[in-house]
Structure 1
Amino acid sequence: MTTAPARDGVRSTRTAFITGVTGQDGSYLAEQLASAGWRVHGMVRAEDASPPQDLHAGVTLHDGDLSNAPRLSRLVEEIQPDTIFNLGGTSSVAASWKKPYETSVSTGAASIALLEAAWLLQERTGNEVRFLQASSAEIFGNATQVPQNERTPVSPITPYGAAKAFAHHAVGTYRARGLFACSAILYNHESLRRPASFVTRRITLGVAAIALGLKDRLSLGNLDAVRDFGWAPDYVDALARIATAEQADDFVVATGVSHSVRDFAEAAFSAAGISDGLSRVDTDPRFRRPVDASEMRGDPGKISATLGWKATTSFDGIVQTMVEHDIEVVRNSGLAALPAD
């Protein structure tokens, strides 16, 4: 990604404000923007103020909480960002079923506070303020259209999807008002920074433990769920392209290829050199969601044609990289590296 020229004719260095900066996407985005010459500010909760090891050293951290709208407004006024990247909130569908109200606030309503703060800053200074919302394929729910695109009806079936749908619609509202506001509709994307609570990392860490002789079995939920798995650094590049595009718009960010959770597990065992891997998998109802979409697969045609973006890492390459990395993680940390069952 190249740094966009100053749109107000004065500032040559862009300033970004990232919520969720310590998460998988936030840390990769901060790294990419800082390397491209941006000033990068990120928000963290006060109790999480110590930056993770993989967060770029040049990021300026501010304490805040997505449930505290006045604090969000003050931060935007203080930082005066050119672009706000809203990546924070409840991080998973499973977690949203446990805390639906909290999810509705942090993942949904907080977007309004940030959009309004961006609008007010733009009105006060006369400088364009851009807003990028990290949306999700979960807004489409159990869509009958496969693959899904930007015109697929928004019909969420989970608390997480409902909150993301609210934020997605809020972006459209403020874009109509005159704010450069965009949604990146992200499909599943994995990396070495994926938290261990996510099914893909549960698989690669569990397979690593089996390969090293520390475990015999792997417990998973719905093996038949079909998802479009991409590589997180690719998707972060898409976020940057969308935020610096000539026109504000919404884009599906996906590979266009889908695989089941069973496929992911099978590929992980194969990457670890285990031929009978699926026979070592148990299904556990504790890991099943109350409602789960059967297939999510995105059509990246629009972002490819408009912004020249495409996925660069294959499904097998993603799994292979994660398994090789997690074998070393488990070798160094033992079973402490695995998520609790």
Structure 2
Amino acid sequence: MTKNIDFLDCDPSDINLSSMSLSSSNNAATNQRGNTLTPTTMTVTAQGAGLQALLDGHEASITINDQTFTFGLFSRGINMIVVDTAAANMQKAVAISTFDTHGSECLSGSLAETIAMIPETAVVAIVVVDEASMSLTKRGRAAMASIGARLFPRCGWRDGYALITPVRSPYLAVEAHKPDAEGGLTDQVSLTFEFGAPNVPSALPAESTGELRLIKARSAGRNAGSFAEVVVDGVTERFTEQGLQVVIVLKDRKMPLFKALFQTHVDEKESELLFWFLADQQAKWRRKKDTPAAIVCVAVGDMARRMQPKATTVLQKLGSQLVSHVENGVGFAMIAKLHARESIVEAQAPSDRRHTPTRWINLEL
């Protein structure tokens, strides 16, 4: 069973979870304390529980400051709490969903679509309860990986798993995994963050932090306006020519941006050109470890229609988990450090709402 987050049909950057009440999913989560808090900081703690842990009398739980939500046998699958840090108060910031990816492959798709619609101002807490792997598809696993679930591929039959991740910075995610053979009750993971942070509307320029360069990007598919935007240190580049737009950003502010367009939606030969270009850039900047560089890839309108496996593979080598699941005419955005494979952020627009751009993604270089 699932109760999905009821996102409105709009740009994810404009979504605020304040329209959603603090509620349980099919009575799966129990709010043990009903008081409402509006703190300036928030601590989220999560603990997953596989079947053996439940049989031993334990429950999975997610705690937001002093409010605890518990998940038992009737919450089988992946249980998610989304906290929008831009909401007016905590009571209006929280939404809960349960995806029984043990019992239904369809709910893997629902999981992926929900993750695609979560705004970048959100923090996501996930616990696996009972069993979540049997019907979990590659697309569902890729969506989990895109928000920082590095240990999730280890999550097998009736294992416990817990994740807390800031969608804006998934490389800061904390997680825990416990095999069924070891009892299935994970260690607790915890993350503290600021509550009441401002949203990131499309008109708001990025600001660099100290010596760091702040890079932002988003993508709009064919039915969402066919554009992409890349913002570096507050300066916006807007792209409207269809295809996969690639931008190389160097740490050295004196160096210009390098931009290249590959029309992988029109000509299969463009995938070959993209492959060699990205392979060359990756090798070049990994050799020059004293000159950090980042690569931004954004789909404009469509990039997938004639994209070949060779091009998909080279993007996966940069760390992309989502690229093989991007459908024709759907937005896709990725930022990766060329000298550090684990530093990547990416987003895909939901395939069932093709008029919606991706959320903004952010990376500091």
Query: Which of the pair is proportionally richer in helix?
Result: 1
Query: Which of the pair is proportionally richer in strand?
Result: 2
What TM-score, normalized to structure 1? 0.28
